[in-house]
Each structure stands twice: as C-alpha cells, then as structure tokens.
Structure 1
Amino acid sequence: MKLLAAIDSFKGSATSKELNEALLAAVDHPMITEKISIPIADGGEGTLQAIQEALGGELLSAKVPDLTGALIEAPYLITDFEGQKTGIIESAMIIGIDRITPSKETICKTTSLGLGILVAQLVNQGIEKIIITLGGSGTSDGGLGFLAGMGAFGITKEQQNPLFSTNAIQLEAALAKLANVELIALADVTNPYVGDQGFSMIFGPQKGGTPDLLKEMDRLAVSIAKDLSRYTSSEIATTSGAGAAGGLGGAILALGGKIQPGFATISQLIGLEEQIAQADLIITGEGSLDGQTEKGKVPFGVAQLAKKHGKPVFALCGKRSVEIGAMASLVSGAYAIQLGPVSLSEAMNRENTLQNIGITGSELVNLFLEGVSYHD
C-alpha cells in the first residue's frame, strides 16, 4: 500500500516537509510498501519550498526594502513550468505581518513598495510568468506601493502608506513593462477592495488600524478604486479578491494580472491530484483545524481530492476545534497530536511537534490497517 503525507506547515513550529518526513519515518507496518512525501502549501508559508521540491529550479534573492523600508535579501524561485520561465514570490517574505508589531503607526507607514521592486527586477530578467502569493501581508496600502515599485507615476516612494497621499495614478509605464509577462496572484480570500468587507475594514484591525482611521482609509480607497478601474474592464471596488493582502489584489488586477485560488494553483503546479489518485491512504493536516479550514486551506483541498478519487484521508493538527465545518464530512477522522495538557510554547516546540505527529500518525495508520486486515 502507498501512504501519502501532504501536511501543511504548522506555522511557527515545523515545515510541511519536516512534518511529512517525521510522520512517514515513524510508520513501520508491513502493509505499507511505499511512502510518499508531498510538501504542500496554500500560498502562504512554505510555498516556495513546496514548489521547488516538485519542480526544481533555482532559489535566488534580491536586495529590496521590506514593508518598513529596511533592506532585506528577499528570496524568490526561478523554475520552468509548462515550458515557461516562471518566477515565484512569497509576498509575506517581503511585506509579511510577522515583520512588524501592528499599531496605528505601522499601518500609516508600511508599504508594499519592495514587492513591486522585486517583481520589476524579475521582469527585467526576462521572466515570462510571475506568480505572487498574497497570504500573510502586513500592509494595507491598497497595493499602491507595489504599483510605485512597478514604475507607476503619481504614487510616492517614500516610507509611508501611499494611500494617504495619492490623488492621481498613471499606470502606462507599469503596463508597458508587463506587456509580455503573465502576472498571477494566489489568494483564497474573496473580499472586494472597499466597503464593509473591503481590505481596510476587514484586514485593517489586525494590522493596527483604529475604527476612525480605517473608515478614512476606506474612503480614500473608493477614489483609488475608481482611478485603477480606468485601466481594466473590472470594477476594482467590487471585484472578488481585489481586497486580498491589503488591496494588493486590486493593484494586480489593474495591471492586467489574474487572481487564482492558492491551493488549486499550487496543487496543479506540483501534480498533487495525480499523486493522490495513485495512493491508498492519505494523511493531511495543518496547525489548527477549525471553521476556517474549509476556506481554501490545504487539508480541505487535499481531502476534496481524496474524496474525488475514493481514497481514505485523515487530518492531523496541533489544535482542533469542536466544529471543523465541511472537513468533517470529507475525512475519516481529524485528530490533534498533543499527548496531554501542554502550554502553547510546549505545543509549538518543533521537536515536540515532530515527535507527536510521528506517534499519532503511526498509531493511526496501524489502527486503520488493522481494520483493513480484519475486513479482508
């Protein structure tokens, strides 16, 4: 029997590859004749590694400013996909919220400029397709910094949120730069650019915005959306996904880019469905299984593919909610790996996590295979 592990990273604890390998190494049963590790991500943490494991390619870096203006070595992957020279960027590695302590000050100063500068550099290198993952952003600038980095006029490149200072935008130079480039953003959120569900009101609070400030930001974003919509057939204000990553989705749409679901795109890139179809038992998981898991997260996507091909699937996690939404109907079981009451720091300790996923996973596989043997 073939056992396949496709577990998303436990954020802040262990990577997808580490979790897969720890589980598979712990499984020791004569009925398991092949073990397959598929490092996986939904567009957030671990995406570059997952795609590089599947497609190969060269991991490079460039010096660009992060969301605070500090110069960093930003990693990116250059690989070949379907005959195209493709660049992959995890935006969180440049403008990630983990780089700041969110406050009113940071939401007014952080910008997505560095991400635009990096994309422009890849275009200058002759990259034909650029894929940007939008998860984990710490900016809320409507994507204006990104546009400035791409060469748009009318937007400040100073270290401040350009949403507060931009009146008119000219995208002609940025559009010309992308004339022969396919630009794709990966995002599983469907929020529009403005309004009660827009980037300011929904994602602004976690980035340090106060209620009054966020209302002002949303008011400014309405004007920006009208300006951006001059360059596309879409109404940026209301388009699904335009509010992703603090409005980066809208900026990418204005440049002629596309927004695609993170998990579905990455699973296609790494050939996940084909691997699941050939496996006999699948184990997936993520740090926390809860009601949000069905919103495009890795375990939900893996479980859907497993069900499509009639394969049994289990989900493991660091923490499990009582209600896990539609996941409950897709998996044979969902289990937290903690072996007893522990503190959060103990639960997130890398060594503990890898040990516990090995113990829980191997015992679960043994139990499942005993059932198979009994029915045979």
Structure 2
Amino acid sequence: MSVVVALDSLKGSLPAAAASAALADGWREVDPAAEIVLRPMADGGEGTLDAFAAAVPGAQRRPVRVRGPRGTLVDAAWLLLPDGTGVVELASTSGIELLGEDRLPWDADTTGFGQAIAAALDAGVERLVLGIGSSASTDGGSGMLRALGARMVDADGRDVPAGARGLAAVSAIDFSHLRTPPAGGVTVLSDVTNPLTGPAGAAAVFGPQKGLTAADVEVVDGVLERYAACIARRVPAADPLLPGAGAAGGTGFALAAWGADLVPGAQRIADLVDLAGAVAAASLVVTGEGAFDGQSAAGKVPAFVQGLAATHGVPVAVVAGRIAADADTAGFAHTISLTDLAGGAAASMADPARWLAEAGRRLATRSA
C-alpha cells in the first residue's frame, strides 16, 4: 500500500506538515508496512511560507515586525529564496487567525502585508511570490497599497481611516509614490477565483466569516465597487471581474492593479513539491483542510488534489476538521470529519493531532 498524505493546514489549529504527520502516525499503527509519502500542501493561505521553506534548500526566513489586522504590532517573517525570490504570506501578517475569536469587519486591514512586501523590496528581491489566503479584512487591499506608497483621500483631501470603513470615504487615490514591482514580476498565489464585487464577490461570499452582517455585505460591496472605479481612473486595465480579484477581501484586485499575475496557489505548491509524481505512484491519496465546505471546490487544496488524483485514476480520501452540509463530497472514496470523531468542534480543536491519528487508523482499516 502506497499512501500520499497531502493535507492543508487546519486553520488556527495545526500546520499542514504536523497535520499530515499525525495522520500518517495513526495509519502506521494499523498498517506499519505501508509506504507513506508526506506532501503537506498549501494554496496561498496559511502554511504557504512553510511549504516553500521545506521544499527549497537554502531558503532564509527574514524576520519583520508589522502592523497586524487589529492595528497592533505582529512579529512575522518573509522568505528569501536562493534565486532572489521573496515569498510573503498574508496569513502571517494580516490574517484572520491573528484576531483570535474577535472580528473587526470594518476596521481590519492589510497594512502588515504591505509592510512585509516593502521589506522584501528593500532587501532587493528580484521577484515576488505572494500568498493571499486567510485574510482578516475586506479592505480591497487598500492597507497593502498604502504601505507601498499609495495615498487614499476623502473629498476634503484628508487621508481616510484603515479598513472597509476608510474605503467608504475614499474620493481619490494617488499612485504617484507607489513602489515599483521588482523586475522579475509578482506572482500571486490565490485559493479562490471569485471576482471583486457582486453575488460571488469578496463581501458577499467571504464577508460574513469576517464579521459582516447581511446589511453590511450590501454596503461593503458598493464600497468596493466605488473603490474599484477610483483605481480604474489610475489603472484603466484594472478589472474587478478578474478571477481571483475578490481573494483576501479584494487584495487580489489591488495586486492585479499593481501589475501582479494571479495564479492558482494549490497548483504552484503542488509543482514545488512534485505532488503529481507522488500521486502517480500511489494506491490512495489523503487530503483535507480545516473546514471542507461549499467554498472548497473553488481553488482550495482538497478539490485540486482530487482533480490531480483523478487524472491518474487514484482514489482520494478527504479528512477535515469539519465537513459542512454544502460540501461537495462526490468523487471522494472516504470522508472523515474530525469534529464527528471527537464528538464536537471544541474537542476536535483541543487535540487535533489525536483525532488526525484516529482518522489515519480508520482509513488504514478501511483500506486493508
């Protein structure tokens, strides 16, 4: 039996590498002869930096202190690769997990992400790879742009506040001091394909998990539409309907306006760790994430891994912290919810490694 374990992180609970290892430990208790190949995954969100660090020899972490999504200082890092590429992760600088149980739907922003990008530019990186999943805000990437030198003012010419609250007052945007992207370009790893605005946009789809009420969603969607129009006056090619423009609360749109290319994050990480080569030789692939739900089909790790395995005719199991009622489980050979195994979400999150090991034991038993 050859098993590839390619889990994403369990957001706010366990990194991808630790999660994959825990499941493998459980499998080996039942089937010690199995060949288990670990390929921890990411899709641009939490764990992207770790995936690059593990896969690229000589990668160096560069510490940086930035303004987090609640306005307080956060210690983070970006990654310098031997070829001069800088890798920056939004999750560790402006991510939702940095808020804990709090939500700041109108005031959280992406300033810290922009500051980390600026630090990489200051270090002279030749190109940038930016992971933009797990955002805490719906600020359209405005905090990031301001950290890179843009200025956003209201009708009286005053700088607007941070977050979606500030966007509501934006009358004009000045890009004259916006920093230039590195010569080698900017590649953005996105975990979703949503546009900036509309019923499938940043506010409507992702706003509620960041604390926006139903009434807020309608208002913020309009705010993002006006913000996009302001940017389009400076960057006519900026397209709010671009797939991925709605990623990270609209940060995808801001980065595209800066000149970045948006690509599927899971594909790029899979290439980095040669997931295809491992899957081609496997008897079973196990993938998963923290919450497997209706959004997982739009660029998240489990859907990507399932599609890759299908091309090789290899069955796939999904293990997730939670499997929502709207999740598309068609095509998966096995599905396991850690919440169900543990008897509740609190118990599952209190000791995720224990329940991942149990999931590994159960999968091994089913596959015997």
Separation of aligned partners in 1, 2:16 and 2:364: 19
- Structure 2 equivalent of residue 10 of structure 1: 10
**CA distances 1:337-371 after superposition (whole Å, capped 9, x unpaired):** 56856232212222xx32333233234324424xx
* Contact 1:69 1:159 (C-alpha < 8 Å) held by counterparts: no
Separation of aligned partners in 2, 1:71 and 1:157: 21
* Contact 1:62 1:73 (C-alpha < 8 Å) held by counterparts: yes
- Over 3 Å counting, the alpha-carbon distance change for 1:300 and 1:211 in structure 2 is closer
Identity rate, percent: 31
- Give matches, 1:151-230, under 5 Å: 151-155=149-153, 156=159, 159=162, 161-174=165-178, 177-178=180-181, 180-210=183-213, 213-230=216-233
Deviation for aligned residue 1:62: 0.7
Separation of aligned partners in 2, 1:248 and 1:293: 19
Runs (5+) with no aligned partner, structure 2: 154-158
**CA distances 1:163-217 after superposition (whole Å, capped 9, x unpaired):** 1343222224325x21514112222333322334433344334434455555444
* Pair 1:261 & 2:297 matched: no
1:126 aligned counterpart, secondary structure:
coil
* Contact 2:192 2:300 (C-alpha < 8 Å) held by counterparts: no
1:130 aligned counterpart, secondary structure:
strand
Separation of aligned partners in 2, 1:196 and 1:366: 43
- Structure 2 equivalent of residue 91 of structure 1: 90
- Over 3 Å counting, the alpha-carbon distance change for 1:221 and 1:274 in structure 2 is same
- Over 3 Å counting, the alpha-carbon distance change for 1:223 and 1:356 in structure 2 is closer
- Structure 2 equivalent of residue 71 of structure 1: 73
* Contact 1:8 1:39 (C-alpha < 8 Å) held by counterparts: yes
- Over 3 Å counting, the alpha-carbon distance change for 1:217 and 1:9 in structure 2 is closer
Report the RMSD for the aligned CA atoms in angstroms: 2.8
- Equivalenced residues, count: 358
Separation of aligned partners in 2, 1:334 and 1:93: 29
- Structure 2 equivalent of residue 374 of structure 1: none
* Pair 1:316 & 2:314 matched: no
Separation of aligned partners in 2, 1:368 and 1:296: 28
1:310 aligned counterpart, secondary structure:
coil
Say which is worse superposed, 136-145 or 355-364, in terms of deviation.
355-364
TM-score by length of 1: 0.84
**CA distances 1:140-162 after superposition (whole Å, capped 9, x unpaired):** 22222211111123453855643
* Contact 1:111 1:162 (C-alpha < 8 Å) held by counterparts: no
Structure 2 counterpart of 1:88, which letter? V
Deviation for aligned residue 1:321: 4.5
TM-score by length of 2: 0.86
- Structure 2 equivalent of residue 131 of structure 1: 129
**CA distances 1:200-257 after superposition (whole Å, capped 9, x unpaired):** 3443344344555554444443332123224545343333322222221111011111
- Give matches, 1:39-118, under 5 Å: 39-56=40-57, 57-80=59-82, 84-100=83-99, 106-118=104-116
* Contact 2:245 2:256 (C-alpha < 8 Å) held by counterparts: yes
* Pair 1:252 & 2:255 matched: yes
Deviation for aligned residue 1:306: 1.4
Structure 1 counterpart of 2:117, which letter? V
Separation of aligned partners in 2, 1:293 and 1:365: 25
* Contact 2:321 2:339 (C-alpha < 8 Å) held by counterparts: yes
Poorly superposed stretches of 4+, deviation over 6 Å: none
**CA distances 1:319-344 after superposition (whole Å, capped 9, x unpaired):** 3356642x422x32222356856232
* Contact 1:226 1:236 (C-alpha < 8 Å) held by counterparts: no
- Over 3 Å counting, the alpha-carbon distance change for 1:11 and 1:138 in structure 2 is closer
Structure 2 counterpart of 1:164, which letter? A
- Over 3 Å counting, the alpha-carbon distance change for 1:75 and 1:11 in structure 2 is same
* Contact 2:193 2:244 (C-alpha < 8 Å) held by counterparts: yes
Structure 2 counterpart of 1:90, which letter? E
- Over 3 Å counting, the alpha-carbon distance change for 1:316 and 1:202 in structure 2 is closer
Runs (5+) with no aligned partner, structure 1: 370-376
Separation of aligned partners in 2, 1:174 and 1:291: 37
Which of the two has higher C-alpha Rg?
1
- Over 3 Å counting, the alpha-carbon distance change for 1:199 and 1:19 in structure 2 is closer
- Over 3 Å counting, the alpha-carbon distance change for 1:93 and 1:59 in structure 2 is same
- Structure 1 equivalent of residue 285 of structure 2: 282
